[in-house]
């Protein structure tokens, strides 16, 4: 790996807190063998080192690579025919999705991520039918795509041992359907009923195959899919494996009000309280979404060091609500940022997502706590990194850490004019665009530069992906498309009355306290 000196008008190293960053004007980063050796003034480092390569200029901003800590697929659900329904109905519409080559599909979204400065992704794979013997081949396609492109990927496979379609046992839901629809749905649900131990054996197989998380750009974690999808037996076994193997877990939780109601019906308490009683909360656990937590729940999360992944675009698109980010910040919760299935523009643009998070939580009032640029930057870098298997290696620019960096053109932010009173971090968060990302580096290797990927041919990849979908649906795809429309109203009917008496907003809405 060639050594390199990366120069910038400013090197933004890290967020010190929610109001302040550490940055070096006319700075540079010297990396060797993929690790940062030193950061300092460009003049000092240029005199001290003789790098193999030099990048950047006095007109560039250098930042840590961004982390998308909640991701699932390549082609978006919208592209595959699922409009932005409320989440529980959206699950039903996803039956109609076409079969897509996983390698090409993963590269599709990875291109978009890298173009917006994302160097690391938490890929949550799953919702796949059995048998488990088919999963390794599927996982290999996903992981090979990231490896070929040069990204970091923290991979987990969603564990589901119950309630595969609605928040009720499969057999009970089938009884509620007309016989013709039930006959179509039964084999689909049956194929998803995989023994719990098969999931655990699959995790162990992956963990061993990918070097036991001891090297490289891939890590394996665990993923309890959600409370409604996991029995207590599954949750306890996942916790045991996480402890024994020393890996993190990423769990969807309380994404919607319906999930809040489900938890109370099942456990007689909140979902967070139930996880606490099972001994699952802690710094090894990340909760994806976390829209419908109570104040007491958030206090438990903060006290135990449990982390949250905020998926703002997804929550808006699927009518799930707005997560209480300001209360999380007040309580000191570590919050990362995820793009989930797709961002607000139906793509994977972290720069756009940071702006959305910055503005979405600006509650009325002159003295209210609202997001800051430094806070949002920290969510997309250091805090996001902590939710992955790479928490100690990435997320900030400092000696000893991996040389994962983004080089951004300052002029695309500041031209034709930007007042000197605007801080560097405010300028980057408010005004940066993917068009201004000049280069992306992972572990000292440039994987994207001047609009081109250095390791994979983007145009050829997308052409092949498009070509494979320019054919009529298969008979099986047509059957699922028809079934999705037929079962949709029955899914909607299943949830009738669930929210009776429940406030339409999370706890922080004042109207809910009246």
Tens digit of each residue's pLDDT (9 = 90 or more) over 257-294:
999 999 999 999 999 999 999 999 999 999 999 999 99
Model pLDDT, residue 211: 80
Round to whole Å and give the CA distance between 297 and 383. Answer: 20
Stretch 108-137: mean pLDDT, rounded? 95
- Look up the pTM and report it: 0.96
Determine, yes or no, domain membership for 479.
no
Establish if 228 belongs to a structural domain.
Answer: yes
CATH of the domain at 32: 2.30.40.10
Average confidence (pLDDT) over 310-339: 97
In this model, does residue 450 exceed pLDDT 90? yes
| 375, 15 Cβ separation under 8 angstroms | yes
Whether residues 125 and 149 fall in one domain: yes
Mean of pLDDT values over 445-469 = 98
Confidence of residue 368 (pLDDT cuts 50, 70, 90): confident
Q: Is residue 506 part of a domain?
A: no
User: 95 with 210, same domain?
Assistant: yes
In tens, the pLDDT along 314-324 reads 999 999 999 99
Q: Which pairing describes strands 66-71 and 445-449: parallel, antiparallel, or unpaired?
A: unpaired
User: Has residue 419 got a pLDDT over 50?
Assistant: yes
Work out the pLDDT band at 215, boundaries 50, 70, 90.
confident
Q: What is the mean pLDDT of residues 210-216?
A: 85
Clarify whether residues 276 and 258 are in a common domain.
Answer: yes
CA distance 495 to 220: 35
pLDDT tens digits, residue range 487-511?
A: 999 999 999 999 986 655 566 554 4
Report DSSP letters for 450-494, one per residue. TTEESSS-HHHHHHHHHHHHSSPPPHHHHHHHHHHHHHHHHHHHH
Are 381 and 415 members of one domain? Answer: no
Q: Is 173 helix (H, G, I), strand (E, B) or coil?
A: helix
Region 389-398 average pLDDT: 97
- Look at residue 511 in the predicted model and tell me its pLDDT: 44
Count of structural domains within the chain: 2
Residues 235-259 pLDDT 10s: 999 999 999 999 999 999 999 999 9
CATH number at residue 200: 3.20.20.140
Domain shared by 317 and 238, yes or no: yes
| Cβ atoms 84, 319 nearer than 8 A | yes
Domain boundary among 456, 475, 494: 456
Domain match, 209 and 273 both? yes
| Final residue before a domain boundary, out of 424, 439, 456 | 456
Q: What is the pLDDT of residue 126?
A: 84
pLDDT at 512: 45
C-alpha 407/C-alpha 2 separation (Å) is 18
In a domain, 162, yes or no: yes
* Residues 80 and 136 grouped into a single domain: yes
CA angle 31, 37, 40 (to 5 degrees): 95
Segment 478-487 shows an average pLDDT of: 96
Give the count of alpha carbons within 13 A of 465, CB side only.
20
Q: Which of 358, 386, 414 is the last residue of a domain?
A: 386
pLDDT at 513 over 70: no
Q: Within this chain, do residues 409 and 321 fall inside the same structural domain, yes or no?
A: no
Q: What is the mean pLDDT of the chain?
A: 95
The answer on 159 and 21 residing in a single domain is no
Mean local confidence (pLDDT), 146-165? 97
| pLDDT for 508 | 53
Asked if the structure places residue 268 within a domain, the reply is yes
Nearest CA to 25 out of 5, 49, 46, 42 is that of 42
Q: Which long-range contacts (CB under 8 A, 24 or more apart) does 131-134 make?
A: 131/194, 131/198, 132/194, 132/195, 132/198, 132/199, 132/201, 132/202
The residue range of the domain holding 447 is: 4-63+401-456
In a shared domain, residues 248 and 112: yes
89 and 100 assigned to the same domain? yes
Q: What pLDDT, on a 0 to 100 scale, did the predictor assign at position 500?
A: 84
Out of 12-21, 326-335, 364-373, pick the least confident.
364-373
Task: State the Cα–Cα distance between residues 310 and 326, nearest whole angstrom.
Answer: 12
Label residue 514 by pLDDT band (50, 70, 90): very low
Amino acid 124: pLDDT? 98
Is the same domain home to 169 and 54? no
Per-residue model confidence as pLDDT tens digits over 74-99: 999 999 999 999 999 999 999 999 99
Confirm whether 487 is domain-assigned. Answer: no
pLDDT over 70 (residue 63): yes
Q: How distant, in Å, are the alpha carbons of 20, 24, 74, 246, 321 from that of 419? A: 19, 19, 39, 49, 36
- Structural domain includes residue 513: no
User: Is pLDDT at 379 greater than 90 in this prediction?
Assistant: yes
Q: Residue 510 falls within a domain, yes or no?
A: no
- The first and second tokens of residue 43, run together, are 């003049």
The per-residue DSSP string of 321-361 comes to ----HHHHHHHT--EEE--BT--TTSS--HHHHHHHHHHHT
């Amino acid at each position: 790996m060639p050594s390199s000196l990366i120069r910038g008008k400013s090197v933004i190293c890290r967020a010190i807190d929610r109001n302040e960053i550490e940055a070096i004007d006319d700075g540079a980063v010297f990396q060797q063998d993929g690790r940062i050796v030193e950061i300092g003034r460009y003049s000092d480092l240029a005199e001290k080192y003789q790098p193999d390569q030099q990048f950047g200029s006095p007109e560039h901003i250098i930042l840590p690579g961004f982390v998308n800590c909640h991701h699932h697929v390549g082609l978006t659900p919208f592209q595959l025919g699922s409009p932005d329904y409320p989440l529980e109905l959206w699950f039903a519409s996803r039956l109609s999705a076409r079969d897509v080559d996983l390698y090409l599909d993963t590269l599709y979204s990875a291109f978009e991520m890298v173009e917006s400065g994302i160097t690391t992704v938490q890929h949550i794979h799953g919702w796949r039918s059995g048998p488990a013997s088919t999963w390794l081949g599927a996982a290999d396609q996903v992981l090979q795509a990231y490896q070929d492109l040069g990204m970091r990927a923290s991979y987990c496979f969603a564990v589901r041992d119950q309630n595969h379609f609605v928040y009720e046992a499969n057999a009970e839901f089938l009884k509620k359907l007309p016989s013709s629809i039930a006959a179509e749905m039964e084999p689909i649900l049956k194929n998803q009923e995989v023994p719990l131990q098969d999931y655990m054996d699959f995790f162990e197989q992956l963990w061993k195959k990918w070097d036991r998380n001891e090297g490289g750009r891939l890590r394996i974690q665990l993923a309890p899919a959600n409370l409604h999808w996991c029995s207590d037996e599954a949750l306890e076994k996942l916790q045991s494996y996480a402890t024994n193997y020393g890996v993190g877990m990423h769990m969807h939780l309380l994404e919607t009000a319906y999930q809040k109601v489900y938890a109370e019906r099942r456990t007689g308490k909140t979902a967070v309280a139930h996880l606490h009683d099972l001994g699952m909360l802690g710094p090894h656990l990340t909760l994806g979404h976390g829209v419908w937590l109570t104040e007491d729940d958030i206090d438990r999360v903060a006290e135990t060091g449990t982390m949250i992944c905020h998926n703002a675009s997804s929550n808006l698109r699927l009518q799930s609500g707005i997560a209480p980010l300001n209360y999380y910040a007040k309580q000191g919760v570590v919050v990362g940022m995820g793009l989930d299935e797709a961002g607000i523009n139906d793509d994977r643009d972290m720069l756009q997502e940071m702006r959305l998070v910055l503005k979405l939580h600006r509650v009325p009032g002159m003295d209210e706590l609202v997001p800051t640029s430094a806070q949002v930057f920290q969510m997309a870098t250091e805090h996001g990194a902590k939710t992955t298997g790479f928490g100690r290696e990435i997320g900030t620019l400092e000696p000893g850490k991996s040389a994962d960096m983004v080089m951004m053109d300052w002029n695309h932010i500041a031209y034709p004019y930007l007042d000197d009173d605007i801080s560097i971090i405010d300028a980057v968060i408010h005004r940066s665009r993917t068009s201004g990302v000049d280069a992306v580096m992972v572990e000292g290797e440039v994987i994207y530069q001047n609009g081109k990927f250095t390791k994979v041919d983007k145009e050829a990849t997308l052409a092949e992906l498009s070509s494979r979908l320019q054919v009529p649906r298969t008979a099986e795809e047509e059957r699922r498309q028809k079934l999705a429309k037929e079962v949709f109203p029955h899914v909607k009917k299943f949830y009738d009355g669930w929210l009776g008496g429940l406030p339409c907003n999370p706890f922080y809405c004042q109207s809910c306290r009246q």
